[in-house]
Structure 1
Amino acid sequence: MEPAEKEAADEPGRMPLNAGADTGYGSVAGSGLSGSVAGLESAPLLIPEPEPERFKQWQPLTKQELEAAAGGPGWRKVRCYLVLMFWLAWVAMLAISIAIIVMSPRPVVTPLKWWQKAVFYQLQPAERSGGINALCEQLPYLRSLGIGALILQGLFDKKVSPLKHNATGQRVGTLPQIQHLLAESNKADLKVVLDVCELDLSGPREVAGNANETANLSATHALRFWLEQGAAGFVICDTDAAYSEKTLLEWKDVFKEFSGEEEERIVVVKQTTDVLPPLKNSQKNVTLVDVVMKSILPPSQHPQSAVEVAEAIETHLQRKDEDIWTGWTVGGNPSRDLKNLLLVLTMTLPGSPAVQYDEDIDQTQNASLKISSPHENKDETPDNHKDKEKKKRSAVTLFTSLSHSRAKEEALLFGSFTFLPFNSSTNSSSSANSTLPSPPILAFLRSWGCVHFLILLNVGPEPHVLDPAWAPSLPKAGVFVSSTGMDRLGSTNLDTLELRPHEAILIKLFEAGSYS
């Protein structure tokens, strides 16, 4: 030891100068760090905290872990309960739906024969320009209008038996022409019914003692001949001798030989009296008459007024349901202004419409109108020519609209019928000065399930506004289907509807907010 150090050590309370180097005092060397100046400068001022553990990333359960977690008794009970509740709810909804369907009133669909679905078109080939040959060319056009059957009139000579195949009228056409017409009609899917009303159907009476038997054999032979050519049936009158139980039973036996599911032959009786004469001594449960053709208007020599037409229409609208299928024709002698109104009525009444030949929907007449020039007729101006052409187009459009609506709408085809008498007010000052009474608005309803069609008829010459309280149970909203002028489109409200003079309107009703 050096003398100085020794002196300092011997001297009490005195710290040696180099004590820090050995003893560690005044230095951090004791903590494990270097006590030199370099060591102090390199030491960090703040001691960093230890880093936290990294977040463990989420991973889906494995199959083994999922089975272990879901296999507990608690989860099994929950799952069984949920499955049970689901099937109970499903069965309950199914049972409620079935109960609603079963308990809901549904209309019964009656299968219709071809003559119950068809629109009949009555015409005489001799009345048309070109006769039978021109008619054969127009058959596809007539079918496109919605016509399903033709009633050919005036084919037979009244002097001899019309059921004989050699008794065709010379002014109409020859036998090969008529046979060609029947063949072409079948190709065009048009039925042909031969009108033999008011003609002598009895054959030659060669043997005096068996006159009736000989006549019946001749008629039966002639029936077979025309049925073989493709005739779909015959039209007779209720005043003819053929309108008897014995004759019609014989005709039915012949028809069975040529009838099928869609080829059934028919007998149409044209009713000429107020009440159809019943068949006497009828014991068999056989329908001898398929269609009874009735006229809406009674026969008249003078043009019938609006009041007379309205009374005749109202009489038929208040009719009772009948067992025999009805075919409606206009008949009578109505004014030209009511032609379209009566067409709408005929097409919408229950039964089969039998429309009389109309030159406005004749394609030959329309073609000649387009080709002809107004200068050919000095009395006809260009404006009149355009009005005629527009009128014919409107007539074709109305006929097509009514026939197609009837074919696709169950309510118009076989729906129920309800006559709707109600009050209406006249919206015209001229009616107050008129001495003639104005006919009321006529209306009826055709319904099938929830679908309702309203037919409104204003036969009079004055406009009418519907009374808001005329039918409180009916929906007020509707959409136009057809009208006599074919100028009404879109939706309408019955409370604000005004009918024009001589106008008929077909409206499909619907509840507010529903367009079904």
Structure 2
Amino acid sequence: MEPAEETDSMTGRMPLNAGDAGYGSVSGPGLSGAAGGSETAPLLIAVPEPQPLRQWQPLTKEQLEVAAGGPRWRRLRCYLVLLFWLAWLAMLATSVAIIATSPRPVVTPLEWWQKTLLYELPPAAFRAEEGPGGIDVLCEQLPYLRSLGIGTLILEGLFDKENLTVTGESLGTLPQIQHLLTESSKAGLKVVLDFCGLKLDGAGNKPSNLSATVHPLRFWLEQGVAGFVICDTDAAYSEKTLLDWRGVFREFSSQEEKRIVVVRQTQYILPPLNNSSQTNKMLVDVVMRSILPSSHHILSAREVADAIETHLQIREDIWPSWTVGGKASHDLKKLLLVLTMTLPGSPTVQYDEEINQTQSASLNVGSSNGEKNDSSGTNTDKEKEKRTAVALFTSLSHSRAREEALLYGSFTFLPFNTSTNSSSASNSTLASPSSPLILAFLRSWGCVHFLVLLNIGPELHTLDPAWAPSLPAAGVFVASTGMDRLGSTSLYSLELRPHEAIVIKLFESGSYS
């Protein structure tokens, strides 16, 4: 051993020039003794460079055939597409055949008088407090009446009993009536003159080549009148007279503007013109029937219910026009309006001050003249009642105008079972749980049904869940006498208030008609 090496061994010092056995080759726990140790390894690990993206290229025809399974798959695919379209066409043809062969309502074209709402104007509507200025006031209200859904005006008590071309002095002059006819035409309203109870064969009817009643008809038809009303007790209600009228009507009628004859029925059954009822159907266009019988006293709730059910049992081929006619309590006024507007036929509504446009103005004037607070409160109640009456009238008229079921749908009486509220039943003597004063009927067209419920009595009634099980249980309110029922409802949870009428459009659960 060399002296230097011994010295190093003895002193315990590591030689500086360790050569291949330097720091990099020192072995120890956790250290690599290889040549590429921690001192000689790079500090950062090299990341391999990303491969360049391969550009997409469409497959060639050969590659596509190989990927799709070859030419066989192409033919199979064509067969599957052809089979799909054939199945689709078969289902479409089956659906069309089912719709074409399934029973459906037959749409019968309606004449203008079958779709209109008639509004009777008595002489009071023409009179003014001072002079005959009521005609001018009525002319200003014509657009308002048209907005309510009214289509035809019936002018009553307008003429002298001996001459149908002369009006009463208190009702306005002939030029004013002609002006009213002109303004009505501009507003889209037709006018029908009421000749009921008048002497139609007076001295003023001079033409000798025609019937004695033809001359006044021709005069008013030239002014644009749409028709005339006579009573079934008038002498004009005869086959000879009506045939003469038909001859005159043909001269002034067109396909869109036909002239009509309305017969006001005053008897329980309309008397036939002769032994054949077919003549009535040809010569009379509309029969105006009263729902309530004429009486000198106000009918009770039981009498009203019996009259409604009795009169609606009559079925004739002549187109009906229903009006209230008799006297009923004020509580039943709105109920009878709902009934009139939902029955088959053309409703005839009598003049009502609550829907008069000038009524609200008079209320406002009265409350601004220093009246007492209680009078002001009364006027507020009247104004609220007027708004409710206008809303009910408008809702019913517009629903009838757009709903086929209310225009020419079928009419069905419904059997009714109710459970009477015990607290109200104990205080009532007009009805009993066994015979409630409730009527119900259905207007149907296809799958659309309108249910009309009438609670004529003063009791609160809840519908029995077992009532009319074939009807859909759900529906939506269309109108009610208080105009306070909105949204959807269920027949199983519906309560009828005293003197209330409700119109509900029924639909299947989960869907709307």
Q: Is residue 224 of structure 2 the alignment partner of residue 230 of structure 1?
A: yes
Q: Secondary structure at the match of 2:378?
A: helix
The Cα shift of 1:67 comes to 8.0
Instruction: Specify which of 141, 144, 152 is matched with residue 141 of structure 1.
Output: 144
Match of 1:300 in 2: 295
Unaligned runs of 5+ in 2: 1-34, 36-47
Q: Distance in 2 between matches of 1:467 and 1:476?
A: 12
The Cα shift of 1:483 comes to 0.3
- Equivalent AA in structure 2 for residue 139 of structure 1: L
| Alignment of structure 1 residues 56-67 onto 2, 5 Å | 57=54, 59-61=56-58, 65=62
Match of 1:496 in 2: 493
TM-score by length of 1: 0.83
Instruction: Specify which of 132, 153, 156 is matched with residue 153 of structure 1.
Output: 156
1:12-63 CA-to-partner distances (Å, cap 9, x unmatched) read xxxxxxxxxxxxxxxxxxxxxxxxxxxxx9xxxxxxxxx9xx8994643455
Moved more, 419-428 or 192-201: 419-428
The Cα shift of 1:365 comes to 1.4
Residues 155 and 140 of structure 1: CA distance in aligned 2, closer, same or farther (over 3 Å): same
Match of 1:368 in 2: 362
Q: Is residue 255 of structure 2 the alignment partner of residue 261 of structure 1?
A: yes
Q: Could you tell me whether the CA contact under 8 Å between 1:126 and 1:132 is conserved in 2?
A: no
The Cα shift of 1:126 comes to 3.6
Number of equivalences:
455
The Cα shift of 1:501 comes to 0.7
Instruction: Specify which of 389, 401, 417 is matched with residue 383 of structure 2.
Output: 389
| Alignment of structure 1 residues 67-216 onto 2, 5 Å | 73-128=71-126, 129=128, 130-158=133-161, 160-162=162-164, 165=165, 167-204=166-203, 214=208, 216=210
Residues 376 and 228 of structure 1: CA distance in aligned 2, closer, same or farther (over 3 Å): farther
- Equivalent AA in structure 1 for residue 187 of structure 2: A
Match of 1:411 in 2: 405
Q: Distance in 1 between matches of 2:406 and 2:279?
A: 33
- Equivalent AA in structure 2 for residue 197 of structure 1: C
Q: Is residue 310 of structure 2 the alignment partner of residue 315 of structure 1?
A: yes
Q: Could you tell me whether the CA contact under 8 Å between 2:120 and 2:155 is conserved in 1?
A: yes
Q: Distance in 1 between matches of 2:281 and 2:247?
A: 11
The Cα shift of 1:124 comes to 2.0
Unaligned runs of 5+ in 1: 1-40, 42-50, 208-212
Match of 2:282 in 1: 287
The Cα shift of 1:371 comes to 2.6
Q: Is residue 438 of structure 2 the alignment partner of residue 441 of structure 1?
A: yes
Q: Could you tell me whether the CA contact under 8 Å between 1:444 and 1:455 is conserved in 2?
A: yes
The Cα shift of 1:103 comes to 2.9
Residues 443 and 284 of structure 1: CA distance in aligned 2, closer, same or farther (over 3 Å): closer
Match of 1:423 in 2: 417
After the TM superposition, list the runs of 4 or more consecutive aligned residues in structure 1 that deviate by more than 6 angstroms: 283-286
1:168-212 CA-to-partner distances (Å, cap 9, x unmatched) read 1111111100110001101100010000001111132999xxxxx
Match of 1:24 in 2: none
Q: Secondary structure at the match of 1:74?
A: helix
| Alignment of structure 1 residues 48-63 onto 2, 5 Å | 57=54, 59-61=56-58
Q: Distance in 1 between matches of 2:407 and 2:157?
A: 30
Q: Distance in 1 between matches of 2:477 and 2:53?
A: 73
Residues 349 and 301 of structure 1: CA distance in aligned 2, closer, same or farther (over 3 Å): same
Moved more, 99-108 or 179-188: 99-108
- Equivalent AA in structure 1 for residue 225 of structure 2: A
Q: Could you tell me whether the CA contact under 8 Å between 1:465 and 1:498 is conserved in 2?
A: yes
Taking only the aligned residue pairs, the percentage that are identical comes to 69
Q: Distance in 1 between matches of 2:205 and 2:345?
A: 42
Q: Distance in 2 between matches of 1:476 and 1:445?
A: 14
Q: Is residue 492 of structure 2 the alignment partner of residue 505 of structure 1?
A: no
Q: Distance in 1 between matches of 2:151 and 2:177?
A: 19
The Cα shift of 1:498 comes to 0.8
Q: Could you tell me whether the CA contact under 8 Å between 1:425 and 1:466 is conserved in 2?
A: yes
- Equivalent AA in structure 1 for residue 455 of structure 2: N
Q: Distance in 2 between matches of 1:349 and 1:115?
A: 15
Q: What is the Cα-based RMSD across aligned positions, in Å?
A: 2.5
Q: Could you tell me whether the CA contact under 8 Å between 1:126 and 1:154 is conserved in 2?
A: no
Match of 1:239 in 2: 233
Structure number with bigger Rg: 1
Q: Secondary structure at the match of 1:327?
A: strand
Q: Distance in 1 between matches of 2:96 and 2:151?
A: 40
Instruction: Specify which of 246, 250, 261 is matched with residue 244 of structure 2.
Output: 250
